[in-house]
Amino acid sequence: MNMPTMKTKAVRLYGVEDLRLEEFDLPQMKEDEILAKVVSDSICMSSYKAAHQGPAHKRVPDNVAENPVIIGHEFAGEILEVGKKWQDSFKPGDKFSIQPAMNYADGPAGVLSAPGYSYKYIGGDATYVIIPNEVMETGCLLPYRGPGFYPASLSEPLSCVIGAMHACYHTHPGSYRHVMEIKENGKMALLAGVGPMGLAMINYVLHRPDRHPSLFVVTDIDQSRLDRAASLYTVEYAASRGIELHYVNTGRVENPVEELRKISGGTGYDEVVVMAPVPSVVEQGDDILGQDGCLNFFSGPGKADFKAPFNFYNVHYASTHVVGTSGGNTDDMKEALHMMSGGLDPAGLVTHIGGLNVVPETTLNLPNIKGGKKLIYTHIEMPLTPISDLAEKGKTTPAFAELDRLCKAHHGLWNLEAEDYLLANPDKFKE
């Protein structure tokens, strides 16, 4: 079978802090593989960790110095050619996202092998890739039928939010059965909740079709961020969904716990989601839990010795409890893609746009770059640009001015029109 070959340009990991943007030939595609074009990739902290750990990382093969791997695992693109084995399942022109956590024992890094960490010819920070058979065998090549590409790139981080909601649980008095999920028409609080992932959580809670809280309280200590969240996800829209939504600046309240319990009607909350690894925020979350309340510790701490006080009297007598999740599973990603195909827009996650050329520097310095997701368009050469800086760059480069205009028309968010313009004018953004 005469399968096509082509060149790709990709960022490859050779070892500790050794990322290289290179052009090389892809091998001839096999009958159980798929050739695809990558359009967008969202840079994740997990890539930063892989780049700084090199072969010590659990998903990076030991021989990465001799067999470098393509990084990037939050990506979307378009299928170009399909090997004979998969022609009944996929076709050229299909858009896709990939669940990187395949759990495939025979991959380059064993059971923890994942696109974006472990493979020579597939990863998100590339122009073209060959999708290996195991991605399809494990059901991790996921169709995307919605508009544009960036939503599909964000399906993995959105799946983390979805997984967190599904991981909440409650109990039945007198039985040992745990009932998974948030309580239907219950009371939920989202603490430190207007960062990028907090915005994704608000977006999901307000748009979820099957269940939702009746009361949803979102807190932070930054009023400008609260105001922005309230303009994107309005109290009025929440009310149309049967949700009483409150935005509360706990930095301006003398007794935040007392105020939050008052808003709950004195009962406390069925779910409290903590979006910042700060002991005082965890303690506040514990203090506002109601009977059988579930504290969802969402934000992963950077230190292994992170601890916070917790009321164990209430654990015993009020059945309060804690759950934490790290990432979402394949079903969560499928739910994310389905909701985005139906109109949910995850653009609130994105704060920066850039081209493939900025991936090495951005990945290696990711914790030092403030904001949310850094969205990369792999066929574009473009400096890493905060959406808030588009207007300034537009003073000297008209293409940036047009992106700024399009984003301002969408409440300052990245959007499908801006993506279309960027992809249609790939040569207008070079420095």
| Angle at CA of residue 325, ends 278 and 345, nearest 5° | 90
pLDDT at 1: 46
Q: Which residues pair with 69 in a beta bridge?
A: 13
Work out the number of other CB atoms within 10 angstroms of the CB of residue 4: 10
Q: What ranges do the domains of the chain cover?
A: 1-154+346-431, 169-324
Query: Domain 169-324 adopts which CATH fold?
Result: Rossmann fold (3.40.50)
Cβ-Cβ contacts under 8 Å for 230 (sequence gap 6 or more): 247
Which pLDDT value is given to residue 430?
A: 86
Q: Tell me: the pLDDT tens digits for 44-102?
A: 989 999 999 999 999 999 999 999 999 999 999 999 999 999 999 999 999 999 999 88
Alpha helices in 208-358 (DSSP H): 223-232, 235-240, 256-263, 279-287, 312-317, 330-341
Given a cut of 60, is residue 395 above it in pLDDT?
yes
262, 255 Cβ separation under 8 angstroms? no
Q: What is the mean pLDDT of residues 161-189?
A: 94
In a 10 Å sphere around its CB, with 0-12 CB exposed, 13-18 middle and 19+ buried, how is residue 271 labelled? buried
Q: Kind and range of the H or E element at 372? A: none
Encoded amino acid at 120, one letter: K
The 10s digit of each residue's pLDDT in 208-220 is 999 999 999 999 9
- First CA to last CA across the chain, in angstroms? 43
* Residue 167 backbone class (left: φ over 0; alpha: ψ -120 to 50; beta: rest): alpha
pLDDT, tens digit (0-9, with 9 covering 90-100), for 215-273: 999 999 999 999 999 999 999 999 999 999 999 999 999 999 999 999 999 999 999 99
Distance, CA of 134 to CA of 357 (rounded, Å)? 29
As its CATH architecture, domain 1-154+346-431 has Alpha-Beta Complex (3.90)
CA dihedral 78, 83, 85, 91 (to 10 degrees): 30
Residue 90 has which token pair? Answer: 């996929």
Residue type, 275: M
Which of these, 382, 393, 366, 365, lies nearest to 430 by C-alpha position?
382
As a whole-number percent, the residues of the chain with pLDDT over 90 amount to 89
Task: Give residue-wise pLDDT tens across range 322-351.
Answer: 999 878 899 999 999 999 988 899 999 999
Query: Any idea of the CA torsion for 291, 295, 296, 297, to the nearest 10 degrees?
Result: 180
Tally Cβ neighbours within 10 Å of residue 70: 25
Average pLDDT, the chain: 95
